[in-house]
Structures are given as structure tokens and as C-alpha cells.
Chain A
Amino acid sequence: MSLLEVKNLKASIEGQTILKGIHLTINPGEVHAIMGPNGSGKSTLAQILAGNENYEVSSDSEILLRGENIISMPPEERTRKGIFIAFQYPVEIPGLSNTEFLHTAVNEIRNARGLEPIDIWDFEKQLKGKMKEIGLDPSFSERSVNEGFSGGEKKRNEIVQMAVLEPILSILDETDSGLDIDALKSVAEGVNRMRSPQRSFIVITHYQRLLNYIRPDFVHVLYKGRIVRSGGFELALELEQKGYDWLKTEEETETSSVGAIS
């Protein structure tokens, strides 16, 4: 069975249609890259997969996680079932330490899966270990969630959270934006360390750069709310060379020719 199947996903916010029928199938162990210009709907797709309830999703859309339609499932339940999103703009929560935050998260997830809670001291040790691996100083475990972190530190912190929560499907929403090359490498290493035949990834990005380090199995091009091209890694290279403008011209030609006929 495929891990994730998105069927005819249509969504809008405040009356504006963003996604116009997305179809996507992801099998266990696969890495899918989703590329596309600004405003094409990449982040909306990520937010909807994670369960953001601010979007109106059309009633005939389906999101199947291992065959179960999760379209109306609240975000926390999706996470407990193994979905994880690394946010493009991680929010700050003043006064709440990373340890306390993630300890609560891990124990709620464990509880939902019928597992015993984990002790906070043991947890903190684990967390510090993951932080070291991903190049974040272990002292960040005591800092308030994302508060006063640099852009790179925030992104690393997202990857730390992913490593701690051990999802089966990770959505990385422009995790590469604002990262210098060293941060990019350690983030990619963090992701690659977690790759396994069971675990899948959706990597959302503008640029092919990140994909040099996290090599995707499939590349999809999202444009104006639709997936307009799918292919292998070579599609990412093509995009890097040609940019996104050719999509626009292609689409404009299509519409104008349609217009000419009618």
C-alpha cells in the first residue's frame, strides 16, 4: 500500500482558490521534491497535509495515509499517526523550553500509541544527543522554543524535532531558505540519517541546491495550484537551468491557443 495518496486536493483560503486538484502518490521510503515559483501553492499543500484548519478543503478531496482518509483529522492526531512538518517559519513560544515542549509532545504521542511516558531527564539526554548530531548546541534544550534563534538555528531546531518524533512521513517546507552552506549540509545530513525503506519525505523547495544533498526519487513542479510536471532528479536540474519562466510561457501559449480556437 502506498504511504500517502493525495487525490484531487482542492483548497482555498478567504475565498481565494490555491490548490486546484493535486494528485500525488508516495510510497514508503521515497523522497519527493516539490518545486515551483512563489505563490504556486507549495506551502499551502504542506500546511493542509499537516492539518492546518484555516483552509477550506473541497469535500471531494482525499488525503489517504496508509489507506485512511485523514482529511478531517485534527493536526495532533495526524502527528500521532506519523506525519511531521518542518515549518518554513517556525514560531517562537516565549517561556516554554524546548525540552518541556518536546517532552510534552513525545509523551502525548506515546500515550496515543499506548506506550509508557518517558521520564523528562532521560528525554533531555536524548534531545541533547540529537541536537549535537544536527549541529545545534545542546544548551538550546533549555532555551525557549525558537525565541531569539537565528534563521539557521530555527531550521536546525525543526530537524531536531523531526529526529525526536521519528515520523513516517516528513514534510520539509522550504527548510533550505535562509540557510548558509554549512547549515544546509548539516540539515541534509540530519534528513539523510533518517532515510529508511519505511520513511518517506516531501521536500518543498525553490532551488535545486538542497536536492544535491537530499537526492529525491521524484520531482514535481507545482504551478498555479496544479502539478504540471513530474519526473526524476533531472527535472530539478532542468528547472535550475531554465528557471520557472518557461512554465509561464508554456501556459500562456496554451491558454492563448485555446482562446484562439474558441
Chain B
Amino acid sequence: MSEIKMNIPEKEKNGTTKNGEDMSAINDFVNKEYAYGWVTPIEEEPFPFGLNEDIIRKISEKKEEPEWMTEWRLKAYRTWTQMQEPHWAFIKYKTPDFQAIRYYAAPKMKKKSNSIEEVEPEILKTFEKLGIPLEEQKRLVGIAVDAVFDSVSVATTHQEILGKFGIIFCSMSEAIRNYPELVQRYLGSVVPPSDNFYASLNSAVFSDGSFVYVPKGVKCPMDLSTYFRINSAQTGQFERTLIIADEGAEVSYLEGCTAPIRDENQLHAAVVELVAHKNATIRYSTVQNWYAGDEEGRGGIFNFVTKRGKCVGDNSRISWTQVETGSAITWKYPSCILQGDNSTGEFYSVALTRNKQQADTGTKMIHIGKNTRSTIISKTISAGMSQNTYRGMVRVMPKAENARNYTQCDSLLIGNRCGAHTFPHLDIRNSSASVEHEATTSKINEEQLFYCRARGIRPENAISLVVNGFCKEVFEHLPMEFAVEATRLLSVSLEGSVG
């Protein structure tokens, strides 16, 4: 059982700097406390530390998985043991000791819960506190939620309504048991188990996550979402999400995440795969707010994630929108493989780092089909002593006639101890391609802040208005509720910036 522990950061006092400007507002902006840092006091059944084939068999057994799934995991594990951890990203950290992590932790349940009424009250309380009530009468309207607590999905709402449309929305564990043909056909079809070090690790040990299948011609009547909560200490979270939109289907999916404040780093290595068939559209939005560590860089989540979508069919479309404010280290590149002719890939990203956070994030757009189009809008905001990197790749394959890409990377620096970096990579193998890249780097402008203050606006609000303005092109692509949440989150994360 864990106790509630809060690190209250000592507020930087310094008032004036070389120009005599009042920087305290900017400091406050950067040193805002993390609001989701509490721990739920619940008994868990954690696995022993470390990783070997027995652990993997135990995970599989725990989840009552069929033999093929166990074998799939073991094969991934054997691949992983042959792999080296990659170090090309612009981040510095101590490689996690993979034998010092628990690979599974689930809240102890009296019995397996089949309905929300049977979920442990402490867990329901946890999600309610996070703003995601799960009980029937309190549920969010117009949005179905899969709630994942450590290694298990504890509840999925609105399943009946979705069922009427033939939409499957359930936890990955359920999908493996109930829809084995779909899982076998699509799992690993976009991110193969041998794809990269952390994807292989995930393939071996993934615990839970969400599964979505939208049948032919169905436009999903509500947004689907998964909320990931890490609670247990020294436990890695390895979720796996698979979303399939069949021909002409449309779905909008949202992902949110938080974790308690802890002094040690915790590993989060997820894999998300999206498959869009002919004329299908998938919109995937993330507001990532894992615990980021304190101002000394202690603790926080290592967020090493592989997210990739495949536009398999003609005229299909995949759109990633992400707002990244949390994690000690973020290392992720939501990507699109544009295989179908006329398919479209989009990536809209806001990444905010402060204190000693490090982010190396961006996207890959792989143009294979004819007339494929991709748009990349990346906004990075660095404050404190953080390092924020955009890394992107646009590849146009020889048969991708008339491919088009537009990339825009804007960096905003708050203070003078942080860094922003841009590494665009273009690999164009067809001369009919049109590829545009624009990049800007600017410091938060004292004149803009003074202008706002001269209109009566508090410095913290002035920063937040300027930063939100900077991010507007990305926020416009978020679903309404998420846009509100993102704006709020940015203001909170930014309170006390610049030094």
C-alpha cells in the first residue's frame, strides 16, 4: 500500500534580473505544481521485479490469453533480448534497469468485475477525482471512456450504445479473448514486434489498452477515449492500443494520462497502431500529462512510445493531434504510412517542456501512394532548463506521384536557460513531389507581455495568452472538450515560467 506523497516545489524567489524586469511571474509560470500527483491507497497484486520468459507466460496466463498470444509475446521477447537500446535521440537519461521494474500490477479485485458497479470504489473515486466519472448516472455524455489503472482496464463505458452500431470498443485483453480473428489480423501489422527496442519490449509485456473496431460505413456517434492512470510504484506501464476503421468508417479517439508524484523514474512504453481502410478517417488526440519530475529533474515518467497509423486504403485519412506537457522524457513520433492513393496524414503537435524536462518528438510521413498529402504543424515551447526537440521525417517513395507535404515547426523559448532544436529529415525519391518546410524560433517577447499588462492583464495570464495564441493552429484540431482542457493545462503548466 502506498501513501500520499507530495513534493511542494520551493518557489523561486528571485525578483528582478539584469534589466530590472520583474521575472517572478515567469518563474511562477514554470514552477507550477502537478495537480494529479496523489496516490490511490489500494491493494495491488504486483508481479516480482524483473523480466524473463516466465514473467511473460505469467502475464499471458493472468490475462487468460490463448496460446497464439503467448507465443507472439515470447517471440517479441526473444527479439528484444537481441536488440540494443537506441541512443540517437537528443535526450540524456540513465537507461532503465529492466530487471528492476515490475511488468504487471493490478488492483486486487474480489472478483473480476463485469459491470461498473463491481469496480473497487477506490478506483472509481480515483477516476472521478481525475474528472472521469465512470458510474452510469455520472458518466460524461457523448464520450465513451476506457479507464486503465496500472496494468488493467477497469471499466469501459457506453459499450451497449456503441454495440448497436457494430462498433467494438473494449480493453485489449477482452479483444484478445473475444475477437481473436481481428486481433490476429491487425496486431503488429503497423508496428511489427521487431520495430524498435521499446516496441519489442511492449510487444512482449503489454498489459492493457484499448481496442476499437468501427465497421464499414459507420461513423462513430461519439468520441472514444482512454484514460491511463499509473498508480503503482516501480511498475512500468506498457499499454497497447489498436484502432481499426473499416471502409468509409470514421472515428475520433482521445487519450489522456496522469501519474502520481514519485522520486524515481517510471517507464511508460506504449504502442499505438491505427489502420484506416478505404475512405476511412481516424482522428487521434492526446493530452499527455504524465508526472514530469520536480524542478531538480528528480522523478517523472520516461515516455517512450511508438505510435503509427497506416492509411491502407485509397482516400483514407489519419490525423494525430498531441499536446505534450508531462513526462521527464518524451520520446515519440506519431507517424503515418500513406499507402493508399490520395490518402492524407496530419500531425499537429504542441510540446511544452519546463524545469529539466526533455522532449524529442515529431513525426514521420511516409508517402507510398499517388497524390498522398501530409501536413505537419509542430509548436514547441521550452521553459526553465528544459530541452525540446522536433525531429521529423518526410519520405516520398519512387511511386508516390504528386505527393505533397507541408511542414511548419515553430519554437518558442521562455527564459534563457532552455533549448529548442529542430531536426527535419527529407528523403524524396520522386521528382513530382512538392515538399515545403518552414521553421521559426522566437523568444517570448517582453513587448508582448508589457502590451498585455498595460491592458490590465496579470503577467501569468499574459504569458498564457501569448502561448495559447502561439499554439492556436494546433488547438483548433482538438475536439472541443480537449481544446478547453489543453488551454487550461498550458496555463497551469506555464504558471511561473521564464528565468
Contacts and interface: CB of A to CB of B under 8 A. Distances in A.
Interface string A94-131: 11100011101110110010000000000000000000
A87 B447 CA distance: 11
Given A90-B451, A93-B466, 19 more contacts: A51-B454, A52-B450, A53-B19, A53-B21, A54-B20, A74-B22, A75-B450, A76-B453, A79-B456, A84-B454, A91-B445, A91-B451, A93-B469, A95-B469, A96-B466, A96-B469, A105-B457, A145-B469, A165-B455
A51 B472 CA distance: 29
B430 interface: no
A108 B456 contact: yes
B468 interface: yes
B222 interface: no
Given A56-B20, A95-B473, A108 B457 contact: yes
B40 interface: no
Top 5 closest pairs, chain A to chain B, by CB:
A95-B469, A95-B472, A96-B469, A79-B456, A105-B455
Output the residue of B20, B22, B471 with the most chain A CB within 10 A.
B20
Contacts of B456: 76, 79-80, 105-106, 108-109, 112, 165
A74 B466 contact: no
Contacts of B468: 95-96
A85 interface: yes
Interface in A66-96: 74-76, 79-80, 84-85, 87, 90-91, 93-96
Contact of B452 (A95, A101, A112): A101
B454 A79 contact: yes
Contacts of A85: 454
B465 A96 contact: yes
A101 B458 CA distance: 12
B415 interface: no
A75 B471 contact: no
B36 interface: no
A91 B444 CA distance: 13
Contact of B461 (A84, A104, A112): A104
Interface in B433-458: 445-448, 450-458
B444 to A, nearest CB: 11
Q: How large is the interface on B (under 10, 10 to 19, 20 to 34, 35 or more residues)?
A: 20 to 34
Interface string A30-54: 0000000000000000000011111
A79 B451 contact: no
Contacts of B452: 93, 101, 105
A104 B454 contact: no
A175 interface: no
Contacts of A51: 453-454
Contacts of A87: 451, 454
Contacts of A76: 453-459
Contacts, number: 84
B470 interface: yes
B264 to A, nearest CB: 38
Interface in B282-303: none
A53 B446 CA distance: 10
Contacts of B473: 95
A161 interface: yes
B295 to A, nearest CB: 25
Output the residue of B453, B458, B466 with the most chain A CB within 10 A.
B453
A144 interface: yes
Interface residues of A, number: 33
Contact of A161 (B22, B455, B466): B455
B181 to A, nearest CB: 47
A36 to B, nearest CB: 22
A165 B468 CA distance: 23
A96 B451 CA distance: 13
Interface of B: 19-22, 445-448, 450-459, 461, 465-466, 468-473
B332 to A, nearest CB: 25
Given A94-B469, A95-B470, A104-B465, A50 B448 contact: no
Contacts of A165: 455-456
A237 B19 CA distance: 40
A145 B448 CA distance: 10
Contact of B465 (A80, A91, A100, A112): A100
Nearest to A14: B19
19 contacts: A51-B453, A54-B21, A74-B453, A74-B459, A75-B454, A79-B454, A79-B455, A80-B456, A87-B454, A91-B447, A91-B448, A95-B469, A96-B469, A96-B472, A101-B452, A105-B456, A108-B456, A145-B469, A165-B455
Contacts of B469: 93-96, 144-145
Nearest to A57: B20
Nearest to A79: B456
B161 to A, nearest CB: 33
Contacts of B20: 53-54, 56
A75 B469 CA distance: 22
B380 to A, nearest CB: 15
A161 B452 CA distance: 12
B459 A53 contact: no
B162 to A, nearest CB: 35
Contacts of B459: 74, 76
Nearest to B474: A95
Nearest to A85: B454
A148 to B, nearest CB: 14
A100 B470 CA distance: 14
A31 B480 CA distance: 48
B19 A101 contact: no
B451 A104 contact: no
A56 B21 CA distance: 10
A161 B22 CA distance: 25
A21 to B, nearest CB: 21
Contacts of A105: 452, 455-457
B470 A101 contact: no
A144 B469 CA distance: 8
Nearest to B410: A94
B451 A54 contact: no
Nearest to A55: B20
Nearest to A109: B456
A50 B455 CA distance: 10
Contacts of B447: 91
Nearest to B473: A95
A183 B310 CA distance: 55
Contact of A101 (B21, B453, B465): B465
Contacts of A109: 456
A53 B15 CA distance: 12
